[in-house]
Structure 1
Amino acid sequence: MKEQREFYPSSQVEWVDTGGGVAERVLSQGPDGMLTRLARWAPGTSTDEVIRHEYVEEVYLLEGELTDLTLEQTFHPGDYACRPPGMPHGPYITGTGCTMLEIRYRSAG
């Protein structure tokens, strides 16, 4: 279970560089890969491969744009994705940079 947290300014959480042009603010986390974070991609950031992971991932784009090179489609603020474990996605590139809310959790089934 994630830790209990009442409303607080997310600006109290420092941005941490995770490498490759991506920084994160981890808002909450728990055991077994549960995570809620803000992820900020710098302008020009890209990934090289199709991504798959063992958890459910929900992503809501807050600012900027993100292009999925496989789908040849660009996503904008307000766009949302929900990916079950194993779903292929990406690779990605952003020209302007972007900020997204990402929620990760284990599937109940």
Structure 2
Amino acid sequence: MKDEREFFDVEAVPWRPDPTAAGITERVLSRESDGSVGTRIARWAAGTETSGVIRHDYFEEVLLLEGSLHDITLDRTFGAGYFASRQPGMPHGPYRTVDGCTMLEIRHHIDQPPVS
């Protein structure tokens, strides 16, 4: 379960460095009961690049709000308005952004092992 919050001004939530990825800052809007990020706005600085294919143990939905993100594996660039919905264990990335990007990420953990 995610924490319960009524409407609030997202601008009041400070940007902080993503503890797992250089070049990315985040505004955490909600957390899951275990304290992990539930929903966040992530801002990737221009020139940010991830390494390796990414897999995680939670459902993830991502909406690109601004800028563009290049999927190195697919050799495709996605811009504002593009959406992704990922099952646990789904491979994606690595990514790079030339001009930077901002995205809304919604995560949800489940009590089942990830799909392989």
Q: TM-score range by the shorter chain?
A: over 0.9
Point out where structure 2 has 5 or more consecutive residues left out of the alignment: none
Selected match of 2:42 from 22, 39, 42: 39
Selected match of 2:22 from 14, 20, 25: 20
Structure 1's consecutive aligned runs of 4 or more residues displaced over 4 angstroms after TM superposition are: none
Contact (CA 8 Å) 1:34, 1:106: kept in 2 or not? no
Code of the residue aligned with 1:4 in structure 2: it is E
Code of the residue aligned with 1:84 in structure 2: it is Q
Q: In the TM superposition, what is the alpha-carbon distance from 1:3 to its structure 2 partner?
A: 1.9
CA distance in 2, matches of 1:71, 1:27: 30
Q: Specify the SS of the correspondent of 1:45.
A: coil
Identical pairs, percent = 56
Could you say which residue in structure 2 is the equivalent of 1:56?
59
**Is 55-64 or 32-41 further displaced after alignment?**
32-41
Q: In the TM superposition, what is the alpha-carbon distance from 1:108 to its structure 2 partner?
A: 6.7
CA distance in 2, matches of 1:48, 1:3: 32
Could you say which residue in structure 1 is the equivalent of 2:4?
4
Code of the residue aligned with 1:31 in structure 2: it is S
Q: Specify the SS of the correspondent of 1:65.
A: strand
Contact (CA 8 Å) 1:16, 1:24: kept in 2 or not? yes
CA distance in 2, matches of 1:34, 1:69: 25
Contact (CA 8 Å) 1:44, 1:97: kept in 2 or not? yes
1:95 to 2:98 alignment: yes
Deviations 1:7-65, CA, capped at 9 Å, x for gaps: 11101100001241000000001124451000000000000110000100100000000
State the aligned residue count: 109
Contact (CA 8 Å) 2:60, 2:107: kept in 1 or not? yes
Root-mean-square deviation over aligned CA pairs: 1.4
Q: Specify the SS of the correspondent of 1:11.
A: helix
Contact (CA 8 Å) 1:40, 1:98: kept in 2 or not? yes
